[in-house]
Structure 1
Amino acid sequence: MVLGSLLLLAVLLPGVHLKRNDASFQPPSDSERPSEAQIYRPVLQHSESIPPIGTYMLKNKLGKPCIKATVGVEYIITEKKMWYFSLDPSRVVTSGRCDDGEAVLSLTLPDNAASLLLYFKKEKSLFYVTKMMAHVSPLPVCKGCPNKTYQGLVDHEKLFKTADGRSFKCKSENLLLMSSQLQIKLVPVQMQAFTLSRGQYGKEIECWADFNKRVIPIIIGATVVGLILIAGLTYLFIKDRRRQGYDSL
C-alpha cells in the first residue's frame, strides 16, 4: 500500500524521484577497484654484487638434454655512472632450439624485461658459442628519466670452445662488451652443448684464466725457491773457496 502511494506520487508530482537503497548499486571506492596489471621491470643497483647461480637445461625434440648451463649473469649498464642488475634464476624462463649443428639457449625474464641468448655451433669435434645477444629494460635510474632498453650483441666469435662431449668451466669472470652502454658478466660459468650423457656434464675443460691463476703462483713459488737455492749454493761455494785459500798460506 505504501509502495503504491509512493509510485503514484512520483507520477503525479514532477521532480519527485525514487532512489533505490541497495549497496550493490554504490560505485566502488578506489581501494575496491581492480588495479592495473603490474609489469615486471628490473631495478638497477648502485653497487655490484655476486650474481645468483642458476642451472638451465634445454631438451631437443626427442626429449633428450642438448644444452646445459650453470652460470651467474650480471648486466652492467653505463648511464652517466655504472649500474648493476643480476639475473634471478627463479624468474627465468628457459627456451630455445637444438639442431644437429646449431643450438640456441634463451634465458628470459617475465614481460621480456631482460634476456640473454647464446648461439652454439658444432664444428667437427668441437663446440663453441658463436654469438650472444642481450637486452634489459629496467626502471629509469632517476625520477623523470625516460624508459630505456639497453641491448647489444657479440657476433662471429668462438667463445667457450670445448671438445664435444666435454664441458667448459670457468670460475673466473668473463666480461663481454655487448655495446657502449651494456656489458654482460658471466661468473662462474659451466656449459655443454649437443652431447650430454644423461643430462650430466662431461669432463671439465678449464679456462685459461683459471689455469693461469692456478699455475702462475706455482711457477712464482718454484722460481723463488730456485733463487734461494742458487743463492745458498753460491754462498757455500764462495765460503769453501775462501777456506781453501787460507789453507794454502
Structure 2
Amino acid sequence: SADEVPAIINSDPPITNLSKRPVLQPKETTPPQFLCTLRNPQGKVCVRASLGVEYVVRENKKNYYFNMNPSSTQATGFCGNQKSILSLDFDGGHLEFTFIKVPTVAFISMKILAPSAFHNKTYVGVINHDKLFKAKNGLSFQCKSQMTLILASYFRVKLVPLQIQAFDLANGAFGKEVECWEDYNKRMIPIILGAVAAAVCLIAILTYVLVRERRGQGYEQL
C-alpha cells in the first residue's frame, strides 16, 4: 500500500530541514509508491495523487538514479477554482504539478527541479506547453505503466504507477479512472493478437474444408 505524504496548505509556514540531501545512485531500483493530498484552508481536498517518482540523470555517458522518498517528502501547494498547484518538496529538489481547469477538461503542465547533490550540479527540467494527463472534470487520470517524461538530453523523470486528480473530488476520493494510452495498448494488443490468431486459424480450417469438398466433388464427376 502507498505511504501518505503530509500536505501543507498554502497558509502554513515554510518548510525547513526536510531531510538529508539526496544522492544519485548508479543502479536503478523501483521507486516507492506514496499518496499525497492537498487541502484548501476549509479542509476540502482539491488535489490527490498516488505515484512513484524516479529521477534519471545522464552524466559522462552513464545514467544515475534517485527515487523520491515518501518519508522525506512534503506536499505543498495552492488550491484554486481554475488553477491548482501541487509541489512535492524534498531537500535538494521538488516536483511541481500545475493543474488547469477548462469548462470540460482538466490537464497538467509540469515544472520540475531535480536533485542537486551530484557533483554540486543542479539539473533543471521544465514542461510548460504540453497538456499532460488530460481527464474530464470529476475523473482521475491513471497509468499503471511506466511514464517517462524526457525533459532534456541529460534528464528525465519516470512516474510509475500514477493516479492523479485535481478539482471535483467527491468526498476527497479519486473519481472514475481515465486510462492512459500505454495501459490501453497493453490491454488491447493481446486481445487483437488473439483475435487475429483465431481468424487465421478459422480461415485455415475453412480453406481446408473447401479444398476437401472440391476434391470430393471432382472424384464423383469422374
User: Does the alignment reach a TM-score above 0.5?
Assistant: yes
Residue 125 (1) aligns with residue 97 (2): no
Query: Residue 44 of structure 1: SS of its match in structure 2?
Result: coil
Q: How does 1:51-200 map to 2 (within 5 A)?
A: 51-80=31-60, 81-109=62-90, 112-138=91-117, 140=118, 146-200=119-173
Q: Which amino acid counterpart does residue 165 of structure 2 have in structure 1?
A: Q
Output the CA distance in 1 between the equivalents of 2:74 and 2:141.
23
If the length of structure 2 is used for normalisation, what is the TM-score? 0.89
Instruction: Report runs of 4+ in structure 1 exceeding 4 Å deviation.
Output: none
What is the CA-CA distance between 1:62 and the residue it aligns to? 1.7
CA RMSD of aligned residues (A): 1.3
Q: Which amino acid counterpart does residue 122 of structure 1 have in structure 2?
A: K
Cα deviation, 1:75-94, whole Å, max 9, x if unaligned, reads 00111110001000111111
1:3 alignment counterpart: none
Output the CA distance in 2 between the equivalents of 1:94 and 1:189.
16
Output the CA distance in 2 between the equivalents of 1:235 and 1:115.
64
Query: Residue 40 of structure 1: SS of its match in structure 2?
Result: coil
Q: Identity across aligned pairs (percent)?
A: 44
Output the CA distance in 1 between the equivalents of 2:201 and 2:138.
45
Residue 237 (1) aligns with residue 210 (2): yes
Query: Residue 152 of structure 2: SS of its match in structure 1?
Result: coil
Aligned length: 204
Query: Residue 95 of structure 1: SS of its match in structure 2?
Result: strand
Output the CA distance in 1 between the equivalents of 2:196 and 2:152.
42
| Cα pair 1:134 1:178 within 8 Å, conserved | no
If the length of structure 1 is used for normalisation, what is the TM-score? 0.79
Output the CA distance in 1 between the equivalents of 2:188 and 2:212.
36
1:206 alignment counterpart: 179
| Cα pair 1:52 1:88 within 8 Å, conserved | yes
Output the CA distance in 1 between the equivalents of 2:46 and 2:208.
63
Q: Which runs of 5+ in 2 are unaligned?
A: 1-16
What is the CA-CA distance between 1:135 and the residue it aligns to? 2.1
Which structure has more RCO (C-alpha within 8 Å, separation ≥ 6)? Answer: 2
What is the CA-CA distance between 1:41 and the residue it aligns to? 1.7
Output the CA distance in 2 between the equivalents of 1:135 and 1:43.
11
Q: Which amino acid counterpart does residue 117 of structure 1 have in structure 2?
A: E
Output the CA distance in 2 between the equivalents of 1:113 and 1:162.
31
What is the CA-CA distance between 1:181 and the residue it aligns to? 2.1
Output the CA distance in 1 between the equivalents of 2:210 and 2:27.
58
Output the CA distance in 1 between the equivalents of 2:144 and 2:110.
21
What is the CA-CA distance between 1:240 and the residue it aligns to? 0.6
